[in-house]
Amino acid sequence: MKKIISITLCLIMTVCTLCGVSRADAFADENSDGDAIFFGHIITMDEENPTAEALAVRDGVIIFAGTMEEAAPFIGTNTKVYDYEDSFIYPGFLEAHTHGYLAGYRAIGQADLSPIFPTDYDEIRRVIKEFIKQNPDRDIYLAAGWVENEEYVSRDYLDEICSDKPLIMNTGGGHSCLLNTKALEWAGIDAAYAKEVGYEMVHVDEDGEPDGYICEMPAIEVVNKIPVTFEDAKTYLLNWQNYAFENGFTAVADAGADLAFADASKVYHELEEEGKLKLRTYSYLMVPDNAEDPSAEISRIVEDRAKYSDEYYHIIGVKVFLDGVTEAHTAWQTWDYADEPGYHGVERFNDHDKMVELITAADAEGLSVHVHSEGSGATHFMLNCIEDAEKITGDMDQRNVIAHLHFVDDEDIQRMVATGSIPAVAPLWTPKFAGEYENEVSFVGQEHADNSYPIKSFCDAGANIVFHSDYPITPEMNINRSIYMAELRAVPEEELGGLATQRNIKEAISREQALRAMTINVAYAWKQEDRIGSLEVGKLANMSVFDCDFLHDDAEKVSAATVIATVIDGEEVYNSGFSSSLLISAA
């Protein structure tokens, strides 16, 4: 295509020169020149004009979308032309639920255990020891990415690795962790504390002493206690931004930006003021479990919004944990756990009146509520609260987000649509993963395990589904694999297991539905559908370029697709090495 474009431009310039026509005369409007123009196979996600050959951009905004020939008037003396040839240009992909600070922290501030899957405790020991060896001056050591399995380990396991300093081994899900003896002492976790918060969240040995395994609120509080400098936090967020760009994302939701670093909003804001933040981040700030004064929490967040929100970092709502996770035995179900009759999980935020007050106060300030809801009980509770809040406010367009949705009762799928709530689903979690799946079956039973992670049911009901990875909780944030797993509910064929890992195939969705769930649907959830999510005139020129046609190529090719470039406001912020641009000159 590059050769064709060059010839076309030369002909235009030649005709103008031979006829004695100035460039201003040749192009009806001198101001029609674009700062940049993009060529390739363009998938716009605009229902009226689903494809294009060219996009023209001025001041970071799309001013033209159409054919190559129609684009000629938008090319001026200093217009930069990006020709991606046979690659495919999509609207900038959007991530509906991530944790930016944790992503950067895990990448460069901790021992990364996520590649060790299935769990291998000998290999975990080796990796942590190597990390300690490489970082001898640290006062506290943190490893993350561990996945629990049927082999229960206690503080003794970590004491064997490191006995003279605190060592914390966090799960990939972040809802539980293991502490060595020094870490328990440092964190102040003793028998009295375990009794106070409950033995479901702080496990104890036969003597009533904490055995090192903690989950939910205590686990999150421990990570928050680890000292980190402001400059380190900036480094972590910039590392995270680079990772997002390399994977084709142009905007993300930080679901609890202050979850692991209280001053995260200030860090984001300073990075934006320094001109370093280009990854648009739509932030939800944390509200504690059963907050004592929900309205005061909203007032606090509104103050932060006034101080820190700008173009690239914007606070749009609040984040609440309703329950835990299945692998930690803490997801809140409407039914009993198979291995523990009478127990249905941990109810973290379970005060109905307080949640209704929170939703109502948030809506009055134009904020939405984004909840972690793994189990069916948590989702049922939240929908009850949203229904009552909507009766008070009369606002049926709050766009509250219910994320994860591992288990959902059929009636609540319909209620999700009726309340205008946004289901945030995770296709990357849908296959049967060795170890995790067997653990899940032992907790919830075969039937529940095999009918988990609904997606198609939400689509069929008319819900505005959005995809999320929960990165770094999931050890990858991958667009093409999300499409693959949404369609096949299995890992790609080249990986161990392939289609043998397929689960609940009746909940598979189409490629187009998957693309919408990572573009325009997410923009709608953020109330940004007029600015991002599709490639249309008047919207921001944010694009993701891949070497694959996600709508028509073979599924295995989709799973192996490569990011060519990521474009923010009409400028490349990432390029894999593909030579895509040339500067047009009238000389």
- Cα–Cα distance between 199 and 214 in angstroms, integer? 9
Q: What is the pLDDT of residue 471?
A: 94
Q: What is the pLDDT of residue 147?
A: 85
- Cα–Cα distance between 332 and 557 in angstroms, integer? 38
Beta strand 581-583 pairing with 313-321 = unpaired
CA-based end-to-end distance of the chain: 22
- Nearest CA to 479 out of 356, 564, 570, 358 is that of 564
Q: What is the pLDDT of residue 582?
A: 54
Residue 505 is classified by DSSP as G
How many secondary structure helices (H) and strands (E) does the chain include?
22, 22
- Cα–Cα distance between 284 and 267 in angstroms, integer? 15
**Percent helix / strand / coil, the chain, rounded to 5:** 40, 20, 40
Looking at the chain, how many residues does it have?
Answer: 587
Residue 45 is classified by DSSP as -
- Nearest CA to 444 out of 322, 326, 324 is that of 326
Q: What is the pLDDT of residue 499?
A: 87
What is the residue-wise DSSP string for 165-225? S-EEEEETTSSEEEE-HHHHHHHT--HHHHHHH-TTTEEE-TTS-EEEEEESHHHHHHHHH
422, 464 contact by CB (below 8 A)? yes
287, 318 contact by CB (below 8 A)? yes
What is the residue-wise DSSP string for 129-167? HHHHHH-TT-SSEEEEEE---SS---HHHHHHH-SSS-E
Q: What is the pLDDT of residue 353?
A: 98
- Nearest CA to 248 out of 527, 518, 524 is that of 518
499, 485 contact by CB (below 8 A)? no
How is residue 180 written in tokens?
Answer: 């060595």
Residue whose entry in the numeric block shows the structure tokens 């363009």: 42
Q: What is the pLDDT of residue 52?
A: 98
- Cα–Cα distance between 469 and 475 in angstroms, integer? 9
- Cα–Cα distance between 158 and 125 in angstroms, integer? 8
Residue ranges, the chain, pLDDT below 50: 2-30, 583-587
- Nearest CA to 75 out of 5, 146, 139 is that of 5
- Cα–Cα distance between 450 and 432 in angstroms, integer? 9
Q: What is the pLDDT of residue 580?
A: 65
Q: b or e along 50-86 (b: 16 or more beta carbons within 10 Å of the residue's beta carbon)?
A: eebbbbbbbeebbbbbbeeeebbbbbbeebbbbbbbe
Residue 259 is classified by DSSP as S
Q: In angstroms, what is the C-alpha Rg of the chain?
A: 25
